[in-house]
A and B are shown apart, each in its own frame.
Chain A
Amino acid sequence: MNGRFAPGTFTPAPGAGRPVRMLFTHARTEAALTLRNGEQVLLTLLIPLALLVGLTLVHVISLPEPRVDSVTPRVFALAVMSTAFTGQAIALGFDRRYGVLKRLAATALPRWLLVAGRVLGCLAVVVLQLVVLGVAAALLGWAPTAAGLLWTVLLTVLGTLTFGALGVLLGGALKAEVVLALANVVWLVLLFAGGIVLTADTLPAGMAEVVRLLPSAALTEGLTQALVDGSAPALSTVATLAAWGAGAGLLATRTTRLS
């Protein structure tokens, strides 16, 4: 009856794979799936690109000149939020629905790697986004300093971790449809009222103080300080981002469910 399979074919030889290999394979799969998904590409790349070009060339809101220098940090912040928060939350919500998390949790993949792989996948997509957006901005006349770029890299990593933790918090706890709706609403609210398109310092005094406490405003402000002012981001922006990330991360470890 076993003609098809030579004896010994399935002799047990169990064991966990090498963590580095697991991490990279998982991250690569996550990144490839994001880039293959049309809606995700629209959210993560096309909308930020359209805003970059639109806000630079069309004078709908008043911005300090050169306009592209003011727009680029905001679009970078938006790109990070789109991928790490909205995209991540929606993907996680549906991956839970479709049993992907359970499937992966049943392998030798340790729990920490289950999160780390997704975060690294996100980071890879964010890097790709920022390169594309950066090239487009450069074509529009953007010329950042080396120090500004270095701070941008650090802020991008911190921002991805913070928004990633928030994305996992939302996507890991609720039903997929609810996640889809909430993640998009939060994205829209933060984009227009969360200090990205309209930065906190242009808002009325009472509102500005509140908006400044949001991670979206903190990331935009930090990136603006680094890229426009050429200075180190204020400690308050870094602290705000870190606090949101740590809070969301801690909460997510309690609320995230596999299915």
Chain B
Amino acid sequence: MSVPAVEVYDLVKSFGATTAVNGLGFRVDRGAVLALLGPNGAGKTTTVEICEGFRRPDAGKVRVLGLDPVTEGARLRPRIGVMPQGGGAYPGVKAAEMLRLVAACAANPLDPAWLLDILGLDGCARTPYKRLSGGQQQRLSLACALVGRPELVFLDEPTAGMDPQARRLVWELVAALRADGVSVLLTTHLMEEAEALADQVVIVDHGRVVAEGTPRELTAAGPDEQQLRFRAKSGLDTGLLVAALPEGCRVTEPSPGGYLVAGVVDPQVVSTVTAWCAQQGVLAEELQVGRRSLEDVFLDLTGRELRS
């Protein structure tokens, strides 16, 4: 059995008086996609940079493909692909030129022209990096991470600054990587990204793991409590609905037009809700039973206050 792609134990890293990472631990299995999910400043990028060998941990142990990224970096780097957060190219370099340079560093690179084409960059292959849009720069950075056919890729906020089409493409790429046995460690603060891509989600806040599991595990409700969600016209009077539902069911409207029924949700409850909607003359859209959204879990764990 081969070693895990990434193992992190009790990782600590401080910058001056600020503790960026405070006892973090997780594991990425071979061929799996793990998302580090957390608000800005949670310590995600610091953790990834330690895994890449760019920073030394103050305490704790990190093994990437079984190697110490600091002392065995020269053996590790040919096997990994890295997409850093922002930047990472000469301002005057042409997109194709940059990708060919990174491709030259690999033994069996993918065809740079093909990679530019699938990432929608063939039209700006000769454009200097500084004149690419933010999303194009991100896609070039992704191409640089993938061109060497790595065993493991680190993607630090891969879809930041991308339009929805480009984001969808990146998601498809990550799914294809996973299908081909590439391990992926990505960071994001987008719930739907973590939910769509990750086998394993690690929610990080203040440099600590606050929850981890598969997206399904994290969003599963407690044993006696389920949720029923639906969307309809905002501001409906839910008094009649509460009266018709069994004892203990609560009805709220957490966001305008987004209704939440919490309690023991059985088939009868679903039927009661849809009957009430019919009485009100509204259509219950996106009716969903049993799962909190990852966003709820995230906000419950990391707080709803806006951070400075």
Question: Which A residues fall within an 8 A CB radius of B?
Answer: 1-2, 4-5, 7-18, 21-22, 25-26, 29, 32-33, 36-37, 94-95, 98-100, 102-111, 258
Contact = CB atoms under 8 A, between A and B. Distances in A.
A13 B108 contact: yes
Contact of A98 (B77, B80, B87): B87
The 4 A-B residue pairs whose C-beta atoms are closest, nearest first, are A15-B107, A99-B87, A108-B78, A103-B88
Interface residues of B, number: 47
Contact of A10 (B86, B93, B180): B180
B240 interface: no
A94 B148 contact: no
Contacts of B175: 1-2
A106 B83 CA distance: 9
Nearest to A4: B172
19 contacts: A4-B172, A9-B110, A12-B150, A14-B108, A14-B148, A15-B78, A21-B104, A25-B104, A26-B101, A29-B93, A32-B97, A33-B92, A36-B92, A99-B88, A103-B141, A106-B77, A107-B144, A108-B107, A108-B148
Contacts of B109: 17
Contact of B54 (A14, A100, A258): A258
Contacts of B92: 33, 36-37
A100 B101 contact: no
Given A5-B172, A108-B78, A110-B74, A17 B84 contact: no
Contacts of B78: 14-16, 108
Nearest to B74: A110
A133 B27 CA distance: 60
Interface string B108-128: 111000000010000000000
A154 B242 CA distance: 91
Contact of A7 (B77, B105, B118, B180): B180
Contacts of B82: 103, 106
B182 interface: yes
A95 B100 CA distance: 18
A16 B75 CA distance: 9
